Amino acid sequence: MLYGTISEYCTNASCPQMAAGDCRYLWADKKTTKPVECSAPEYVDNLMGWVESQLNDETVFPIKFDSSYPKKFKEICSTIYKRFFRVYAHIYHAHFKQIQTLGADAHLNTCFKHFMYFVLEFKVRANTHRTAASFPLAWLTLRCPCLA
């Protein structure tokens, strides 16, 4: 992900809420009893730590040949991808001008396009929030007619 490219611009002061346009995203995991509002950098830090713990959990991502995946495997993967999508949405909505200034827009667009190809091909997350999805998906559809 290209979040590191704009991390100096995405601060608790500049992005006090994890948002993409009018959509605000709350953080929830096993440690929180209910979803909580946090800044964009806090959300991304929580996300990276949570995803790392999921990937390292052998009951979720088994490493032994004869092990089976949990019944909620697709749901867990969908949650991971939904949350990564939120980071893309935040970058596009809040930081695209900075991405362009840094000359990283083509790289961001390519990464997002491959992310969406994977999501669409494997139907990882079919019901992403339409409002948050509207800008990046509209952009992607215009530039990639095969997704229209």
pLDDT of amino acid 57:
96
pLDDT in tens, 121-147: 887 764 444 444 444 555 454 444 444
Q: What is the pLDDT of residues 7-63, one digit of tens each?
A: 999 999 999 999 998 899 999 998 887 999 999 999 999 999 999 999 999 999 999
Structure tokens at 117: 């190809």
Instruction: Kindly list the structural domains of the chain, giving each domain's residue range(s) and its CATH number in brackets, ordered by start.
Output: 3-147 (1.20.140.30)
pLDDT of residue 137: 55
Short-list 45, 44, 67, CA closest to 57:
67
Note the pLDDT of residue 55.
96
The pLDDT value given to residue 123:
77
The predicted structure's pLDDT at residue 119: 85
Per-residue pLDDT at 136? 52
Q: What is the pLDDT of residue 126?
A: 45
pLDDT tens digit sequence for 78-135? 999 999 999 999 999 999 999 999 999 999 999 999 988 888 888 776 444 444 444 4
**Half-sphere exposure of residue 91: CA atoms within 13 angstroms, side-chain side:** 25
Three-class SS string for the chain? CCHHHHCCCCCCCCCCCCEECCEECCECCCCCCCCECCCHHHHHHHHHHHHHHHHHCCCCCCCCCCCCCCCCHHHHHHHHHHHHHHHHHHHHHHHHHHHHHCCCHHHHHHHHHHHHHHHHHHCCCCCCCHHHHHHHHHHHHHHCHHHC
Greatest Cα pair distance in the chain: 49
> Residue 148: what pLDDT?
41
Burial environment of residue 89 by CB neighbours within 10 A (0 to 12, 13 to 18, 19 or more): buried
